[in-house]
């Protein structure tokens, strides 16, 4: 009876799982049942196109099962299992496969005036939005990001996020207030009915639901006439003002991203959360006082001066955000690199830093173009904020990046300025062109981009990508490895941004551990192959919104199933690895030593045969299995190398040589940077390796210090 019940229960579970999978895979028909959207009797807004397959702004997600926004609109949860995506294929190893343009979903036309004395923006314009999902929409979700800085009760300001940027007190609050929100096609004023607060967060006004009087059918377009007033905060996390410097980021009312399955990817603005939006075109005209230099997303289309004001119009298509900066003290350098007009805006006295950044951006452009597909825009603006506005630095927007660093840092032998420039440029691909969801899967942009940054920096500054000082050559991969181990080994990387309890968890896992995982894969399978895998992913999903499965599938296609399994374990499941030499022994003689024959009269002397034998036991702790080399080194320096595929957790290797087994080393070139502990990778059998070099260096430094303190 019990056995029968078990069988029935198993069958029921199988049926249920099949049903769930079938529902997840089945595209929703274009134009849902009328009762899905029409609540107040109005005619639904007709669509002009059905949904097509894919992940782009005009398509249906192949893995809708990964939707992660909580039903109550609250903070997101870790994504669930997903369906394997379609193969990408070698076609995407070449730029010929790149799409020319993104499908526009949310396009913005703004006329905005900046008052640099009051730090206020007043803007009006239109948002043209297309319901690119397969589901009729009865509501919009609008992000009013600047309200995150309105008071201490917002999600941004009230959520503990120690160890992360943006923690300093504000001397001036920031806010944005809608003055008009009118839907043309619906002929409806939406402002009156819009929610005032983020769902479930009465103190927050960054995530606003805007009910629609009638549904907007899939493929239909809605034009919103918008007017708003905004006040920039004193400079804080990525935005704000300091003196006359202004960084206008997240400054306008912005539609949340609508996924192809009809789900809005909306969220209250959290300290760790960055941004995610649909692609579109931006047409932004900015008024500032004449003395102000402006840097903005897109290319300058026109400029006119009147009444002490300068009006500049910027245009850019195929992007999903727009930021600008204005300062009356900016210095400027510009140069055409790789067909891109690169412009650097920087404070007085930072000429050397600007030169270095232009150089790194130029070299990184070459590297990223070759690896991940050509940069499709005509301009790139690099903004180095003044020291007092350092919090505005280190951020990416389409065709505009902000950098940072002290003016003297470029003379110090460390690469901090170069690293930031390469990192932010890399975001033009991993965030800009491959527009992953930065809130749900921050590792997909920050993590992959950190690896891309290491890859570019290592190409430019081999083995000195973090610092190139006399006698001290530090690679960025080593630094990221060290930082990645600042948190527990089994912490999961693939979490949504708000799920990280501390800034150090977010930084160590999202940035450093992801980069370390990918760098390890590159070291093991070849950096060129790794670049090819990530390049295939980047080209295939340009102008789209891929998810973790798409990335891992691309890795698997190029590097193999073993690499895909390792990356899945390390990125999605908290997998880790520690290779260790558990035991190593050696003894004289071998099976050839002794008496042989019957009767045993044949005496074999070990001196004429392999006189030394030995054995080592190696262990792979943790779930991540990556192949490694194992070196058995004789006391006379002879070396035997063995490949350990590491599929099994324990390996026993034998030594037979002309000298005693001296040392055993697993992964001698430190290819698997993910390895938790490198100090147990080597074991001396009898004689330990010398430590006299360390003693010499340490005593020299101590002697020099003594010279300073002793009479």
Residues at the contact surface with another protein, assessed by CB under 8 A: 347-350, 386-388, 406-408, 462-464, 470-475, 477-479, 481-482, 485, 581, 631, 633, 637, 662-663, 665, 668, 670, 673, 677-684, 688-707, 709-711
Which helix (H) or strand (E) element contains residue 455?
helix 448-460
Minimum Å distance from CB 599 to another protein? 44
Determine the Cα–Cα distance for residues 238 and 251; give it in Å rounded to an integer: 11
Which DSSP string do the residues of 549-589 spell out, in sequence order?
HHHHHHHHHHH-HHHHHHHHHHHHS---BEEEEEEEEEEE-
When the beta carbons of 335 and 677 are compared against another protein, the nearer one is 677
When the beta carbons of 364 and 523 are compared against another protein, the nearer one is 523
Identify the bridge partners of residue 264 per DSSP, sorted by sequence position.
Answer: 258
Contacts of 463 (CB under 8 A, 6+ apart): 473, 475
When the beta carbons of 359 and 387 are compared against another protein, the nearer one is 387
Determine the Cα–Cα distance for residues 269 and 233; give it in Å rounded to an integer: 15
Minimum Å distance from CB 470 to another protein? 5
Minimum Å distance from CB 700 to another protein? 4
When the beta carbons of 327 and 431 are compared against another protein, the nearer one is 327
Minimum Å distance from CB 658 to another protein? 16
When the beta carbons of 499 and 675 are compared against another protein, the nearer one is 675
Question: Tokens representing 244?
Answer: 């006359």
> Tokens 């499908």 label which residue?
103
Minimum Å distance from CB 403 to another protein? 15
When the beta carbons of 127 and 584 are compared against another protein, the nearer one is 584
Minimum Å distance from CB 327 to another protein? 12
Minimum Å distance from CB 333 to another protein? 17
Are residues 316 and 299 in contact, defined by beta-carbon separation less than 8 angstroms?
Answer: yes
When the beta carbons of 104 and 386 are compared against another protein, the nearer one is 386
Which DSSP string do the residues of 175-217 spell out, in sequence order?
EEEEEEEEETTTTEE-TTTS-SSBTTBTT--SEEEEEEEEEE-
- SS3 state at 629: strand
- SS3 state at 96: helix
Minimum Å distance from CB 664 to another protein? 8
Alpha helices per DSSP H over 485-547: 503-505, 514-525, 527-540
Minimum Å distance from CB 670 to another protein? 5
| Cβ atoms within 10 Å, residue 654 | 13
Instruction: Tell me which DSSP letter residue 164 carries.
Output: S
When the beta carbons of 113 and 684 are compared against another protein, the nearer one is 684
When the beta carbons of 67 and 353 are compared against another protein, the nearer one is 353
The distance from CA 324 to its chain's CA centroid, rounded to whole angstroms, is 22
């Amino acid at each position: 009876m019990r056995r029968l019940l078990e069988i029935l229960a198993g069958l029921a579970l199988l049926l249920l799982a099949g049903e769930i999978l079938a529902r997840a895979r089945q595209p929703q028909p274009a134009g849902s049942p009328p009762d899905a959207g029409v609540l107040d009797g109005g005619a639904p807004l007709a669509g002009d196109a059905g949904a097509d397959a894919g992940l782009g702004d005009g398509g249906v997600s192949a893995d809708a099962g990964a939707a992660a926004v909580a039903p109550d609109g609250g903070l997101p949860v870790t994504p669930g299992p997903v369906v394997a995506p379609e193969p990408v294929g070698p076609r995407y190893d070449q730029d010929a496969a790149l799409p020319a343009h993104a499908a526009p979903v949310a396009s913005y036309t703004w006329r905005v005036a900046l008052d640099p004395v009051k730090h206020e923006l007043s803007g009006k314009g239109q948002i043209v939005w297309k319901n690119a999902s397969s589901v009729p929409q009865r509501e919009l979700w609008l992000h009013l990001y600047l309200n995150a800085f309105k008071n201490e009760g917002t999600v941004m300001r009230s959520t503990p996020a120690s160890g992360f940027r943006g923690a300093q007190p504000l001397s001036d609050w920031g806010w944005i207030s809608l003055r008009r929100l009118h839907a043309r096609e619906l002929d409806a004023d939406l402002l009156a009915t819009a929610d005032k607060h983020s769902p479930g967060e009465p103190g927050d006004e960054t995530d606003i639901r805007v009910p629609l009087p009638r549904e907007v059918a899939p493929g239909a377009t809605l034009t919103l006439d918008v007017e708003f007033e905004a006040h920039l905060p004193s400079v804080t996390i990525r935005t704000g003002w300091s003196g006359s410097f202004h960084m206008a980021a997240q400054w306008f009312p912005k539609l949340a991203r609508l996924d192809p399955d009809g789900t809005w990817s909306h969220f209250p603005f959290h300290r760790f959360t960055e941004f995610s939006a649909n692609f579109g075109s931006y047409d932004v005209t900015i008024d500032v006082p004449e003395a102000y230099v402006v840097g903005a997303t897109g290319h300058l289309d026109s400029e006119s001066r009147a009444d002490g004001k300068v009006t500049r119009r910027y245009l850019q298509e195929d992007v999903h955000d727009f930021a600008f900066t204005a300062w009356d003290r900016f210095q400027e350098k510009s140069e055409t690199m790789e067909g891109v007009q690169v412009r650097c805006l920087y404070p007085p006295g930072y000429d050397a830093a600007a030169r270095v950044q232009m150089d790194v951006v130029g070299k990184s452009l070459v590297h990223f173009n070759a690896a991940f597909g050509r940069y499709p825009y005509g301009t790139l603006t690099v903004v180095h904020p003044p020291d007092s506005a350092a919090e505005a630095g280190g951020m990416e927007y389409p065709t505009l990046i902000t950098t940072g660093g002290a003016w003297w840092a470029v003379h110090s032998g460390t690469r901090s300025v170069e690293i930031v420039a390469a990192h932010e440029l890399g975001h033009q691909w991993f965030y800009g062109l491959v527009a992953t969801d930065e809130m749900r899967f921050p590792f997909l942009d920050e993590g992959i981009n950190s690896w891309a940054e290491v890859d570019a920096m290592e190409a430019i500054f081999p083995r000195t990508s973090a610092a190139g000082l006399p006698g001290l050559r530090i690679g960025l991969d080593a630094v990221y490895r060290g930082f990645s181990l600042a948190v527990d080994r089994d912490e999961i990387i693939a979490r949504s941004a708000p799920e990280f309890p501390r800034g150090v968890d977010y930084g160590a896992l999202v940035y450093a551990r992801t980069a370390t995982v990918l760098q390890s894969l590159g070291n093991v399978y070849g950096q060129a192959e790794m670049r090819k895998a990530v390049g295939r992913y980047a080209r295939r999903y340009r102008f789209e919104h891929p998810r973790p499965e798409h990335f891992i599938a691309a890795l698997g296609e190029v590097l193999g199933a073993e690499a895909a399994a390792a990356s899945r374990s390390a990125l999605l499941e908290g997998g880790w690895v520690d290779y260790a030499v558990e035991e190593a022994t050696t003894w004289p003689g071998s099976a050839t030593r002794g008496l042989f024959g019957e009767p045993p009269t044949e005496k074999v002397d070990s001196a004429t045969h392999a006189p030394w034998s030995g054995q080592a036991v190696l262990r792979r702790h943790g779930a991540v299995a990556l192949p490694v080399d194992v070196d058995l080194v004789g006391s006379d320096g002879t070396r035997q190398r063995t490949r350990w595929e590491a599929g099994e957790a324990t390996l026993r290797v034998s030594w037979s040589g002309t000298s005693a087994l001296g040392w055993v080393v697993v992964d001698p070139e430190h290819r698997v940077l993910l390895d938790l502990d490198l100090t147990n990778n080597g074991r001396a059998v009898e004689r330990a390796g010398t430590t006299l070099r360390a003693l010499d260096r340490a005593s020299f430094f101590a002697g020099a210090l003594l010279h300073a303190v002793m009479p």
